[in-house]
Structure 1
Amino acid sequence: MVPLGPAALTRPASDGRYGSMGAVPTVARWWSSRTDPQRIDLYTRSSYYSTLVFVPVLLLFSVSPDWATSSTWQPLVLLGSSVVTTAACLVLTRRGFRDRTAGPDRPALLVALVAGLVTVLAALAATGAGPAPAAPWVAGLVSAAVLLALSVTVPTRPLVAGAAVTGVLAGAVTAAEGGPPATAVVVGASIGVAVGFFVTAFRFSVWILDVVLEMERSRAVQAQLAVAEERLRFARDLHDVMGRNLSAIAVKSQLAAELVRRGRDGAAEELADISRVAEESLREVRDVVRGYRRTDLPGELAGARSVLRAAGVGVTVTGEEDAVALPEPVQAALGWVVREAVTNVLRHSRASWCSVELHAVGGEAELRVANDGARGTETTWGNGLTGLAERLAAAGGRLSAGPDGDRFVLAATVPVGVPA
């Protein structure tokens, strides 16, 4: 036995003998970078594929204790046909996940059924003469694999009917092996019920996946509709402001041109009126743009609640009554904080809840936005938080942001009465 020195004791375990843990953070980042619908989709697919891959192994282990012959062709046929069945079922499953509205792939289904029948016959031949408890379960496993592949696209009722047919097939195999009728009925019923529960459980997971994907699409459509509605609102306001004035400018321009052409008086007055209407239009457009860009704190709090709920984030907002009483400069400064905080929650976290708290005590207004989407202990600020801190500093306020346990907290404080 060779003694270990201090260098050996302090040497890391990633020297090649025990492998390296460097891939674990990569896998964790790969998993955390996916959305919840993508995770559910990945989990559902992997459940199907891993279950189907183990079908040949389960068949061999279930039949091997009943082998009554020294010949090797029956086990080889059993293994080959079960592998073909599994491959055809994998093709059915893959194409079903690709397009669940197209129905099962008929050539792959035919191959799976024929190879499954060969598997059952090979199991009967491999078990020899006399009753073989494993033979009915081979029929059940093969039928379960085919029904599992079909469950991606086929509704529940046909799958339950297929499970009943599986029970009848298993009972027939038991009777063909020489088992008593009562035993055939019990075995067939047991296998049929087991296959029915097994297949409907997987079908339920596909239904959950469809519901989650539909909700994700609904949220995307809702966000697009909100953007379109805001564009229409702005276009409507701009049209209402500019339509009448531009029409007046066009009419007065034509009138001034006609007066000049005919050499009559009044053209100068019309041109002066055109200048006045143009200046008025410019002022009204600036008012529209200013109102569009203005940050109203009560409106920002209501918008934050609506946007976060639309994104599936549970949100609580407190202190809205204090927001109404704050001076307009303070509302503007804290309104930018709400916008940036909500943007960070939606873009840079996987939060399931978010709380927005506003307090105005002791001559200061404090806004705290917390969520449970903190990742690690990274505290580097991006351009958004940096610009927000500069905006608050100009108003005499301060900003802090960073993880607090399993939460991420953004806090902003602005003195009441200091211009923003």
Structure 2
Amino acid sequence: MTSGPVPREARPLPAAPWSTAAARRSRRRFRVLNLSAVMPLFVVVGAIVVARQAQTWQDVVVLGLGVVVVVVAFERWTVGEILRVAAPCLAVAAAVWPYGVFLTDGDAQGAYYALAVVGCLTVPQLPRHRAAAAIAVTAYVAVVGTLGPVVSGEVNATGLIVGVILPTGITAVLIGLMFPNKGFYDLAAELEETREREAELAVMRERMRFAGDLHDIQGHTLHVVKLKTALARKLLHTDTARVEQELREIYALVGDTITQTKELAYGQRKLNLTAELENARNLLEAAGIRVRVERRAEIDTPAIDLLAQVLRETTTNILRHSRATLARIELSRHGISVVNDGVEDGAPPKLRGLATLADRVSDAGGELTTRLEGGRFLTAAVVPAASPPARLPAT
């Protein structure tokens, strides 16, 4: 047995809107509401029709059968499976109507009740040709109702009104009203699906944010540990004091990373921009990169932790993707920019961490930009400034 792409003809059709979990929940709620509020009404009206118009036990059986198909069709309609019983229910209802017109001794014009109800439940649910089906059902009621007085030879205004106009009009109105009703159900299903989809997207975004933060923590730490380990190995036989210092810093860094990972897992992680700035300076200088820090203004933004993350990710990128000898870090009132040299002209490296941060900065109402020009790489992030405190009204 070989495997391969599934032919288009063999692929399953997309699920109907009501087949999703959210739609099924909505359908269940509507089902309970309809069964408790509308079903008794159908049964009572059907019982009145049978009691008022049946003259013999045969009439009771036939007209009662019409009430039964109404109940069956409505119950199936509430679960979205009306089309499974549409043909037999329509056939029975269509037979009850001429029976009431031609074969009953008394006034049995209410025999159209079953066809009107089953038709209004079935026709709007058809996958196609709904308008044609609605016209066909209405025309059938009108034709049968017209033939009754003609066959009996009792054509008069009252007979036409009771036997033709009234049944035809009620059937047309019921079917017509069910079309917007179907639209209401479809809209409710779409709203449920949209709400469920938004919840899934929120979970996905949170997972991506968590993965990005975890990458920032672990990637940054591992790269720094690698750098410090290489330095300690190089100085192992010449400067044991420096080696011991580097090992202490590695130990402290790993412990701090474990703490940050726990804080991230419990949603308590907050980066300190001042600490990240000092950390970036130490790391870059340890790698032989001169660092210049310019503070043009004090940071005044509620998204200061995002700026700290941008600085951390940028520091990691400088160490990993460049041969920098100089890095300039500039802080403004609500932004930060980092420029480093040692980058070859051409296609810039793919910086996935910064791409993820760009989305988060954008969600916060800011903007993160990167630019490569003349062997220098610029990373700049701007976030909204803090809102000024509201002034109290003068007293």
Q: TM-score, normalised by structure 2?
A: 0.50
Q: TM-score, normalised by structure 1?
A: 0.47
Q: Which has the greater radius of gyration?
A: 2
